Amino acid sequence: MEQQKLPNATIALILGIISYIACCCSMGIGGLLFSGIALYLVNKDTNLYKENPELYSNFGQVKTAKIIAIIGLVLGVIALGASIFQIISAGGWEAYQEQQQEAFRQLGIGE
């Protein structure tokens, strides 16, 4: 019987990589979202592999996707925690936005 590839391995790997980028661009929320989806797909493929391991050839890719997604999840939690800390330290959302606008004005951005 010919071995086949697990159906979600590649997309889980891609989502794990995207979660790194999303951590930086969305206060960590994007990283949590993409890594969460990747981990869901990894668990789905892991269960499929455990049912019949001799049918599938790319379980190593699934393990790699899991590691990358976990790292993305940790980075997302750290980024979200740092963002929440900054907002609280600034005195709330309004004060945080005002600090950001002032920083942009000093840099000459958004005038």
> Domain count of the chain?
1
- Rounded to two decimals, what is the model's pTM? 0.89
Structural domain of residue 77, as residue ranges? 7-107
Confirm if 15 and 69 have CB atoms less than 8 A apart.
yes
46 falls within a domain: yes
86 falls within a domain: yes
CA gap 99, 89 in Å, rounded: 11
CA gap 19, 16 in Å, rounded: 5
Q: What is the overall mean pLDDT for the chain?
A: 95
61 falls within a domain: yes
| Token output for 107 | 């840099």
Q: What is the pLDDT of residues 47-98, one digit of tens each?
A: 999 999 999 999 999 999 999 999 999 999 999 999 999 999 999 999 999 9
Amino acid symbol at 65: A
2 falls within a domain: no
The proportion of the chain whose per-residue pLDDT surpasses 90, expressed as a percent, equals 95
1 falls within a domain: no
Q: Which H or E element spans position 75?
A: helix 59-90
